[in-house]
């Protein structure tokens, strides 16, 4: 824990800011925020390397909420960790022109790494991120200069893993031995229409073992120590991506716990009041304890300090390897120059697009 206050205070702030967003909007998905906010908190608090005031820092860790329907939880998590999201932004959840849309959009909200919502999409995107980290680190890093050295963490739902893309992308991740990819499965066993057993009976852990992943199971998904130890073991893995199954409960602590009705509709005013009372939480809407405001301020300072340490290393790297440093900056700024345009081929005859794409890439590769 990076602060002086208890974990549960921050976790409950995330839970109930999520519920309040959904109730005010009269739309949203309260089940996962109640059931999995502690997982998002744990990743950010114990492991994630980030600077909330510079969400595009090159060597930040990536956090992907593949279950994008739980966006209220993501926005609340980003808020308590110091990103440029305000209480007023949370109050405008799912409203036109807000920065807190119903599903996360990467070009809109600070801290959102990729647009998610279609189940499985974030899982696939995260494999791409891990591939990029592995390639870039091998290309740019030099002895004593780990300029690219970050993890990709994913919080995935049952629905994400039901989608075929999770198997396809998971197979590639296992094949490429993407050991800096860590997926945590929010295994609550409830789908939009009822228990997952209505349509799903495979052994997911064995599936990922077969795909070449390091697999762990946390039977009590609310045991923070057990979850933390599992993630630390995953970080120690050097040859395989990691998959952690955490047994959780949809709508945890609410009158609709484990009920599919908690998935995609507001709990309702009375149920929210009852849930807050069960957790011993003030009934005030959008309540944030003073110690959480202090936690937020501290996270901002910690993030600035971590990026500053990296920048000092990068300046030394730039002195030693100026060409590589310039190329790295250009790549992340998507500054490809203009020379490649002069080498774009023209096609006079009909050609399959896959062949045309290959010819274009080969023609301009040396000029990027």
Last residue of a domain, one of 288, 304, 320: 304
Asked whether residue 175 is domain-assigned, the answer is yes
pTM of the prediction? 0.95
Total count of domains within the chain: 2
Report pLDDT digits (tens) over 131-187.
999 999 999 999 999 999 999 999 999 999 999 999 999 999 999 999 999 999 999
Q: Is 217 helix (H, G, I), strand (E, B) or coil?
A: strand
In a domain, 326, yes or no: no
Distance separating alpha carbons of residues 76 and 284, to the nearest angstrom: 16
pLDDT tens across 231-278, in order? Answer: 999 999 999 999 999 999 999 999 999 999 999 999 999 999 999 999
Q: Output the pLDDT for position 143.
A: 98
pLDDT tens digits for range 312-364 = 999 999 999 999 999 999 999 999 899 999 999 999 999 999 999 999 999 99
Tokens linked to 71: 């966006």
Same domain, yes or no: 158 and 108: yes
Q: Answer whether residue 331 is part of any domain.
A: no
Residues paired with 195 in a beta bridge: 190
Q: Are residues 121 and 261 in the same domain?
A: yes
- Looking up residue 140, the CATH number of its domain turns out to be 3.40.50.970
List CB contacts of 120: < 8 A, sequence separation 6 or more.
66, 159, 160, 161, 162, 163, 164, 165, 166, 169
Residues 102 and 226 in one domain: yes
| 367 and 267 together in one domain | no
192 occurs within a structural domain: yes
Are residue 259 and residue 344 in the same domain, yes or no? no
Residue 145 belongs to some domain of the structure:
yes
Q: Which domain holds residue 108?
A: 7-304
Do the strands 242-247 and 190-191 form a parallel or antiparallel pair, or are they unpaired?
Answer: unpaired
Helices (H) and strands (E) in the chain, counts: 13, 7
> At 4, is the pLDDT very low, low, confident or very high (cuts 50, 70, 90)?
very low
Please check whether residues 269 and 349 belong to one and the same domain. Answer: no
Quickly state the pLDDT bin for 44 (edges 50, 70, 90): very high
Instruction: Tell me which of 304, 329, 353 is where a domain ends.
Output: 304
pLDDT digits (tens, 9 = 90+) for 87-134: 999 999 999 999 999 999 999 999 999 999 999 999 999 999 999 999
- What's the pLDDT score for residue 368? 82
Under DSSP, the state recorded for 146 is -
């Amino acid at each position: 824990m990076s602060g002086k206050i208890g974990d549960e205070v921050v976790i409950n702030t995330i839970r109930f800011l999520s519920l309040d967003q959904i109730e005010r909007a009269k739309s949203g998905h309260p089940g996962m925020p109640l059931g999995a906010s502690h997982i998002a908190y744990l990743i950010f608090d114990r492991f994630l390397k980030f600077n909330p005031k510079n969400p595009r820092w090159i060597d930040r860790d990536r956090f992907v909420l593949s279950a994008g329907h739980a966006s209220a939880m993501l926005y609340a998590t980003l808020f308590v960790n110091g990103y440029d999201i305000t209480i007023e932004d949370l109050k405008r959840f799912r409203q036109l022109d807000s920065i807190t849309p119903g599903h996360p959009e990467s070009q809109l909200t600070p801290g959102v790494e990729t647009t998610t919502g279609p189940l499985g999409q974030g899982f696939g995107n995260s494999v791409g991120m891990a591939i990029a980290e592995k390639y870039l680190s091998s290309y740019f890093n030099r002895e004593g200069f780990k300029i690219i050295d970050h993890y990709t963490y994913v919080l995935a739902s049952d629905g994400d893993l039901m989608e075929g893309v999770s198997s396809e992308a998971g197979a590639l991740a296992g094949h490429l031995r993407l050991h800096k990819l860590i997926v945590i499965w929010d295994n609550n066993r409830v789908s939009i229409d009822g228990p997952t057993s209505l349509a799903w009976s495979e052994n997911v852990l064995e599936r990922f073992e077969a795909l070449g992943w390091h697999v762990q199971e946390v039977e009590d998904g609310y045991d923070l120590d057990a979850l933390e130890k599992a993630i630390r073991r995953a970080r120690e893995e050097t040859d395989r991506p990691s998959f952690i199954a955490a047994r959780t409960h949809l709508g945890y602590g609410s009158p609709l716990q484990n009920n599919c009705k908690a998935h995609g509709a507001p709990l309702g005013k009375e149920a929210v009041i009852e849930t807050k009372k069960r957790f011993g939480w003030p009934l005030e809407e959008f309540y944030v304890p003073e110690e959480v405001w202090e936690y937020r301020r501290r996270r901002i300072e910690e993030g600035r300090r971590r990026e500053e340490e990296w920048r000092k290393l990068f300046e030394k790297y730039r002195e030693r390897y100026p060409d590589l440093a310039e190329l790295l900056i250009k790549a992340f700024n998507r500054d490809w120059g203009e020379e490649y345009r002069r080498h774009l081929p023209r096609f006079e005859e009909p050609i399959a697009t896959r062949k045309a794409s290959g010819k274009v890439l080969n023609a301009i590769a040396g000029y990027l």
